Amino acid sequence: MGRQPCCDKVGLKRGPWTIEEDQKLMNFILHNGIQCWRLVPKLSGLLRCGKSCRLRWMNYLRPDLKRGAFTEAEEDQIIELHSRLGNKWSKIAAQFPGRTDNEIKNHWNTRIKKKLKALGIDPLTHNRIENTEDFESAKEATASNSSENLLKNGISSREPDAVSDMTLRTDKSESFSSSRMDETFPQDEHWIDNMDYLLSWDGFTSNLEEIFPFDSHL
DNA sequence: AAACAACGCAACCGCGGCGAC
DNA sequence: GGTCGCCGCGGTTGCGTTGTT
Q: What digits encode the pLDDT tens for the residues A151-193?
A: 333 333 333 333 333 333 333 333 333 333 333 333 333 333 3
Looking at residues A18-25, what average pLDDT do you find? 88
Q: Are A195 and A93 in contact (CB under 8 A)?
A: no
Burial of A37 (0-12, 13-18, 19+ CB in 10 A): middle
Query: Cα(A17)–Cα(A160) distance, rounded to whole angstroms?
Result: 40
Looking at residues A209-218, what average pLDDT do you find? 42
What's the CA–C1' distance between A141 and C20, in Å? 19
Query: Cα(A159)–Cα(A91) distance, rounded to whole angstroms?
Result: 28
Residue nearest to nucleotide C8 (CA to C1'): A90
Strand C bases near protein CB (under 7 Å) are: 4-12, 15, 20
Altogether, the residues listed in chain A come to a count of 218
**Cβ contact A152 with chain B strand, < 7 A:** yes
> Which nucleotide across the nucleic acid strands is nearest to A12, CA versus C1'?
B12
Which of A36-45, A78-87, A93-102, A180-189 has the lowest average pLDDT?
Answer: A180-189
Which of A30-34, A46-50, A151-155 has the lowest average pLDDT?
Answer: A151-155
In 3D space, the residue among A156, A187, A133 whose CA is nearest the CA of residue A75 turns out to be A156
pLDDT higher than threshold 50 for residue A100: yes
What's the CA–C1' distance between A115 and C19, in Å? 19
**Cβ contact A88 with chain C strand, < 7 A:** yes
Which of A21-25, A27-31, A87-91, A174-178 has the lowest average pLDDT?
Answer: A174-178
Predicted local distance difference test score (pLDDT) of residue A122: 80
Report the percent of chain A where pLDDT is more than 70. Answer: 54
Average pLDDT, chain A: 64
Backbone Cα Rg of chain A = 21
